Amino acid sequence: MNNPQVLEIIENLKGRRNYEEKKASKLGFNSLYAYIENKILKETEAEAAKILEQSASKGEVIEAKKPEKKKSCSCC
C-alpha cells in the first residue's frame, strides 16, 4: 500500500466505493487496493500497446509508398 495514485483513487470513490469493493471481490481480488492497482496496470499496458500500434502503422505507410516496378510493355 505504497502507491499514492491508488490511495488517491480510493479516497475519491465516495459513493462508488461499495460498488467497487463488490466488483473487486467478485473478480477474486483480496482487497480494493489490489483491484485498483491491477486496473491501473492494465490501463498503462493498453496505452503502451496503442503507442506501439501507432508506430507500427506508420512503418507500414512508409513501406506502402514505395514505387511499383515498371512493366516492360504498355498494354499491361
Q: How far apart are CA 55 and CA 45, in angstroms?
A: 15
More confident residue, 69 or 24: 24
List, in order, residues 6 or more apart from 24 with CB less than 8 Å away: 31, 32, 34, 35, 36
Contact of 9 with 41, CB cutoff 8 Å: no
pLDDT of residue 63: 56
Please give the pLDDT value at position 59.
58
User: At 45, is the pLDDT very low, low, confident or very high (cuts 50, 70, 90)?
Assistant: very high
pTM of structure:
0.65
How do residues 23-38 score in pLDDT, each as one tens digit? 999 999 999 999 999 9
Helix axes 32-64, 4-11, angle to 10 degrees: 110
